[in-house]
Amino acid sequence: MSDTLRPLISARRIKKRVAELASQIAEDHRGTPLTLVIVLKGATIFAADLMRQIGIPFVIDFVRASSYGEAARSSGTVELSDEERLDIAGHHVIVVEDIVDTGLTISALVAALSQLGPASLDVCALLHKHVAGARPVAIRYKGFDIPDAFVVGYGMDYAERHRNLPGVYRLIPEA
């Protein structure tokens, strides 16, 4: 099966924006206990680049959230795993996500994590997709706004493929 891919955001633009986000995060959190909660699996490449540019101490942890399964549309339910074991009480927490689409996943995560007593809770997302009827989500650290299209690359997949592409591509569905 061959997917058609169209370039949307180059590796070069991503690199520049990631450095800007990292400086902003460091500036805002100097001298405070900071935890990055990285959402598996899609945010791993973004988070790996982001982390290496944040010049202040922080700790990391991971949660898994899945809403898509094998499909290219959100299934409407979000499965979280393991979030109860995160030790974030009193920490300033930034949830690092690849993409906010309907907002369902990030809303579910923020609701679950806020139960664990963080000192603050913000969202960092590489991409914000603009879809009609999406729930409003406050993204304090946002990479790029994108139109309503399915994208892959830079950690994001379609049925586990294309995560290794260095840039973000639009996946064109087969006719």
Q: Which residues are catalytic?
A: 101
Per-residue x/- mask for ligand IMP, residues 105 to 124, rule CB under 6 A? xx------------------
Residue choice 62, 67, 93, 139 for contact with ligand IMP (CB under 6 A): 67
Residue choice 5, 21, 29, 42 for contact with Mg ion (CB under 5 A): 42
Contact criterion met (CB below 8 Å) for 151 and 4: no
Closer of 45 and 100 to ligand IMP (Cβ):
100
Q: Give the CA angle between residues 66, 123, 119 to the nearest 5°.
A: 115
Per-residue x/- mask for ligand IMP, residues 23 to 52, rule CB under 6 A? -------------------x----------
Measured from each CB, the residue nearest to Mg ion is: 42
Residue choice 8, 18, 54, 99 for contact with ligand IMP (CB under 6 A): 99
Question: What's the CA gap between 15 and 45, in Å, rounded?
Answer: 12
Residue 54, both tokens: 């944040």
Question: What's the CA gap between 55 and 32, in Å, rounded?
Answer: 13
Residue choice 9, 91, 103, 126 for contact with ligand IMP (CB under 6 A): 103
CA 76 to chain centre: 18
Residue 143's H or E segment, with its range, is: strand 141-146
Residue choice 35, 54, 83, 102 for contact with ligand IMP (CB under 6 A): 102
Which pairs count as long-range contacts for 75-82, CB under 8 Å and 24+ apart, including other chains?
Answer: 76/104, 78/104, 78/105, 78/108, 78/109, 80/108, 80/109, 80/112
| Binding residue count for ligand IMP, defined by CB under 6 A | 19
Out of ligand IMP, Mg ion, none, what residue 102 binds, judged by CB under 5 to 8 A for its kind, is ligand IMP
Whose structure tokens read 């990292």? Answer: 22
* Only segment of 9-17, 27-35, 39-47, 87-95 that touches Mg ion (CB under 5 A): 39-47
